[in-house]
């Protein structure tokens, strides 16, 4: 049931993002008095629609996107001569540019607002200390059981529990080597040989203790397993600090999204690798993979703050990535159409300087093969990612 709830949350968030994207195009086109004939969420067969004024609003059967139909988007479209004055192609370049960029702007605005909500309403987690929050009771039988906190078919008691590690202990060394944060601690544990006795130095009530554990293996998971989770503390930020946090985090996610796109070619060979999560392919996913990850988080045995925080970050990251990707200067993306408008205006300005007439609109017929080619590549890569996420999914591991 929790997995289903996670999927419902993700699909609802995705549909809201799509609606906001299309509303950006719709609202700005209406503002500039362009004629908008359709506003739909989804593709395929129409499930429901209603007409208000000159615009038909509706929902289609496949919830994988949406569209706003603005009259005269390109020179190729035949329209009623009576509508030509209100067509998209006859409006000033700056107005067309705003309409085209408005979809991505709505993704960015939603992400920014959700970052503020995260900072004020949920709080920011300080989860990098080596203080123990909980100790698992068993060694899960699989990665799926680990995600769900299940002890069904367990292979034995968790090594940390056997060693006597308690909630509130602070681990300061693994095998005699100091660890100063959770990242170092996790790496040190995963690097240890399974089944070989390991010395763990902890601080408990101001006393230093050396405990001994035999790390285990969880089938399907890379590295050794001890069965500990860190103690997480949350701090809510003031409105002013939350805006600063939203701005800096937005920039970090945007930079990370650009890096992820750059790593796409290197990711392809590892999409079906056994250790996909530890390769560049672990950084890319389709909507199916992201939806599955959201479902795993909702189903995990964690506090509401942990779940809400992770889910919000997924939605935020998805919107920033989609907003930025959509602005790439590739047809049929909005960024491709925006590039055409910029080219038209630059060409018109150059013609004006030479005392020549405005060359007018770009002949889109010459760009149709390029647009079809890019679309085919995007669809093909999307299907490849979906296949990988179905047959070789990335699991959520804290």
* Active site positions, annotated: 22
Identify the helix (H) or strand (E) that includes residue 68. strand 55-70
CA angle 235, 318, 292 (to 5 degrees): 90
Report the alpha-carbon distance of residue 109 to residue 54 in Å, rounded: 28
Report the alpha-carbon distance of residue 257 to residue 285 in Å, rounded: 12
Q: Residue 389 is encoded by which pair of tokens?
A: 């996420």
Dihedral sign from CA coordinates of 117, 118, 120, 121: positive
Whether residue 144 contacts residue 183, with contact meaning beta carbons closer than 8 Å, is answered with no
Report the alpha-carbon distance of residue 214 to residue 225 in Å, rounded: 9
Q: Residue 172 is encoded by which pair of tokens?
A: 């300061």
Q: Is 16 exposed, middle or buried (0-12, 13-18, 19+ CB in 10 A)?
A: middle
CA angle 17, 105, 304 (to 5 degrees): 45
Whether residue 175 contacts residue 192, with contact meaning beta carbons closer than 8 Å, is answered with yes
Q: Which residues pair with 125 in a beta bridge?
A: 234
Three-state secondary-structure class, residue 281: helix
For every residue of 7-60, which 3-state class applies, written as one string? HHHHHHHHHHHHHHHHHHHHHHHHHCCCCEEEEEEEEEEEEEEEEECCEEEEEE
- By C-alpha distance, which of 82, 54, 81 is closest to 69? 54
Q: Residue 196 is encoded by which pair of tokens?
A: 């070989």
- By C-alpha distance, which of 190, 320, 196 is closest to 246? 320
* DSSP states along 129-178: S-BEEEE-SB--SSHHHHHHT--TT--SB-HHHHHT--TT-EEEEETTEE
């Amino acid at each position: 049931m929790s997995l289903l709830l996670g999927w419902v949350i993700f699909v609802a968030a995705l549909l809201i993002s799509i609606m906001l994207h299309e509303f950006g195009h719709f609202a700005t086109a209406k503002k500039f008095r362009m004629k908008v004939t359709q506003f739909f969420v989804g593709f395929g067969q129409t499930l429901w629609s209603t007409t208000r004024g000159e615009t038909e609003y509706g929902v289609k059967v496949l919830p994988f996107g949406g569209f706003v139909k603005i009259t005269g988007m390109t020179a190729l479209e035949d329209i009623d001569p009576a509508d030509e004055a209100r067509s998209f192609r006859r409006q000033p370049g700056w107005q067309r540019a705003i309409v085209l960029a408005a979809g991505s702007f709505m993704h960015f605005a939603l992400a920014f607002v959700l970052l503020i909500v995260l900072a004020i309403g949920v709080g920011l987690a300080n989860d990098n200390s080596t203080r123990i929050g909980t100790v698992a009771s068993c060694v899960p039988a699989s990665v799926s059981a680990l995600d769900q906190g299940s002890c069904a078919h367990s292979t034995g008691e968790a090594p940390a529990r056997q060693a006597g590690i308690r909630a509130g202990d602070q681990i300061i060394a693994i095998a005699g080597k100091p660890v100063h944060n959770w990242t170092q601690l996790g790496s040190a544990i995963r690097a240890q040989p399974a089944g070989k006795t390991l010395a763990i130095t902890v601080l408990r009530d101001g006393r230093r203790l050396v405990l001994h554990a035999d790390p285990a293996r969880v089938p399907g998971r890379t590295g050794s397993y001890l069965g500990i989770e860190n103690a997480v503390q949350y701090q809510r930020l003031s409105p002013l600090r939350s805006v600063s946090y939203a701005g800096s985090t937005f920039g970090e996610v945007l930079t990370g999204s650009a890096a992820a796109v750059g790593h796409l070619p290197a990711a392809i060979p590892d999409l079906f690798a056994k250790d996909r999560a530890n390769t560049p392919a672990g950084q890319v996913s389709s909507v199916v993979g992201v939806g599955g990850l959201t479902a795993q988080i909702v189903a995990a045995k964690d506090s509401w703050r942990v779940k809400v925080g992770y889910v919000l970050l997924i939605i935020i990251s998805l919107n920033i990535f989609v907003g930025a990707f959509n602005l790439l200067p590739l047809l049929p993306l909005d960024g491709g159409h925006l590039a055409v408008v910029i080219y038209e205006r630059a060409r018109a300005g150059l013609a004006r300087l030479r005392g020549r007439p405005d060359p007018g609109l770009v002949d889109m017929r010459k760009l149709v093969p390029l647009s079809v080619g890019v679309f085919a590549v995007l669809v093909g890569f999307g299907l490849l990612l979906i296949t990988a996420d179905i047959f070789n999914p990335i699991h959520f591991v804290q």
